[in-house]
Amino acid sequence: MSKINCWEFKKCGREAGGPKVQELGVCPVHPNNGRSCWLVAGTFCGGKVQGSAAQKLGNCAVCDFYIKVKAREI
């Protein structure tokens, strides 16, 4: 099983060519940081742009993708 990136798991549509790119722009983690999105500032999670890695870590800690990656389930 190949590892998936956050945009594949969350189906946010912000990957290059995705359906939400015109509205929201390409996510700052695309294409190189999709397995460690919690370390990148400016991601769009929970309906709003997140701040720095330190500011958003609390939200990331309860994210289903973050939890599965940390548990090595995906």
Q: Dihedral of the CA atoms 67, 18, 45, 74 (nearest 10)?
A: 0
Per-residue model confidence as pLDDT tens digits over 4-56: 999 999 999 999 999 999 998 999 999 999 999 999 998 888 778 888 888 88
pTM, full prediction = 0.87
